[in-house]
Amino acid sequence: MNDLQPGRGLGNAAEGAVLALAMRGDSAAFGELVRRRQSWLRNLLRRLCRDPSLADDLAQQTLLQAWRTLQGLKAASAFNTWLRRLAINTWLQHLRRAPGQTENQAAAPDTPAPPSAVGLQLDLDRALASLRPDVRLCVVLAYHEQLSHTEICAHTGFPLGTVKSHIKRGAAELRSLLDCYSPKESSHDR
Amino acid sequence: MTDELDPQLARWFAAAEQSLADAEFAARVTALHRRRWSPSAALRISTLVWRGLMSAVAVALRRRPALTGLAAIFALALSIGLALQG
């Protein structure tokens, strides 16, 4: 068996070729896919579950599940969508196994951190964690993954109206929780 | 394609996106992958299947004839279950 290591000349290989090799069971090619997708996948799961180490664990589970079932993927072009669905299902399974574990630990950011990229990231994740999981999922898919409402319906199985209302409500809650990061307008102070 | 997104919120999400280093994470995935598919794991599964089969035969020989088939099926199912858990 090949090592699941990136490299072996695959670093510059075209995406389609790497994917085709991985679908035939080449573990080095899959390692290259891991290298290319890990940052996106971990960021997605960090937005969904706040805790970075838990997000990394779920990302690992997702990737191992992907490796086991990759040969069943019908079209290489659907890989990203398929991997995203696997990640969402892994997160949902985690929620079912440990309900409440990652929920409600995170109240709204009570003491606003000074505006900075790191502070914003932490506060955004805390604010997201205070949303209901179904609302959070819709908001993350819309804002982080930039999916259309229709695509979110396909990913979640929620009706279009539910998706729209979840996104609207979740966005309003996030705006109020992250108000300290809003650009200040002098007219408001008058 | 996005619909009706709050532009400020979209900027915050974009700013929160980090480029995460791959080396350590890929190494952990590799380690897990090896553990699941290593020769020792295959040997462990084979041993469990073999043990299960042997217990099925032993149970079948000890039981009364009317129950033999049922017991053998039960033992086989048990062995397969054990193997899959391993």
CATH number (domain holding residue A129): 1.10.10.10
- Runs of H (alpha helix) within B1-86: 7-16, 23-37, 39-62, 65-85
CB contact under 8 A, A34 and B36: no
According to the model, what pLDDT value does residue A66 have?
A: 92
Residue A107: its H or E element: none
- Runs of H (alpha helix) within chain A: 15-23, 27-49, 52-69, 79-97, 117-129, 133-139, 149-156, 160-177, 186-189
CB contact under 8 A, A42 and B20: yes
Give the chain A residue nearest B10 (alpha carbons).
A143
According to the model, what pLDDT value does residue A38 have?
A: 92
CB contact under 8 A, A43 and B17: yes
Cα–Cα dist B68/B70, whole Å: 6
Over residues A123-139, the mean pLDDT reads: 94
Pair A53, A90 in one domain: yes
Comparing CB atoms, the residue among B2, B8, B32 nearest residue A148 is: B2
Domain tally for chain A? 2
Q: Is residue A45 part of a domain?
A: yes
Q: Please state, as a whole number, how many other Cβ atoms lie within 10 Å of the Cβ of residue A53.
A: 9
Residue B50 CA from chain centroid, whole number: 19
Pair A120, A43 in one domain: no
Give the chain A residue nearest B21 (alpha carbons).
A39
Least confident of A147-161, B29-43, B46-60, B66-80: B29-43
Chain B nearest C-alpha distance from A64 (Å): 7
Q: Which domain holds residue A153?
A: 107-181
Cα–Cα dist A58/A47, whole Å: 12
CB contact under 8 A, B13 and A3: no
Pair A23, A100 in one domain: yes
For chains A and B, what is the number of CB pairs under 8 angstroms?
A: 89
| A17: pLDDT strictly greater than 70 | yes
CB contact under 8 A, B9 and A171: yes
Sign of the alpha-carbon dihedral angle for A119, A121, A124, A126: negative
pLDDT > 90: percent of chain A = 49
Cα–Cα dist B44/A35, whole Å: 31
SS3 B2: coil
Pair A75, A132 in one domain: no
On whether any CB of chain B is under 8 Å from the CB of A144, the answer is: yes
According to the model, what pLDDT value does residue A79 have?
A: 92
Pair A5, A81 in one domain: yes
Give the chain A residue nearest B2 (alpha carbons).
A148
pLDDT band with cut points at 50, 70 and 90 for residue B1: very low
CB contact under 8 A, B20 and A38: yes
Over residues A113-136, the mean pLDDT reads: 83
| A114: pLDDT strictly greater than 70 | no
Pair A146, A166 in one domain: yes
- In a mutagenesis test of the A interface, which of B33, B34, B35, B36 is the best target, namely the one with the most A β-carbons within 10 Å? B33
Cα–Cα dist B79/B52, whole Å: 4
Residues 6 or more apart whose CB falls under 8 angstroms from that of A156 comprise A88, A134, A137, A138, A141, A163
Q: Is residue A130 part of a domain?
A: yes
Give tens-digit pLDDT for A18-76.
998 888 888 888 888 898 999 999 999 999 998 889 999 999 999 999 988 888 888 88
Contacts of B28 in chain A (CB under 8 A): 56, 60
Domain end residue (candidates: A61, A81, A105) = A105
Find residues 17-56 of chain B whose CB sits inside 8 Å of chain A. Answer: 17-20, 22, 25-26, 28-30, 32-34, 36-37
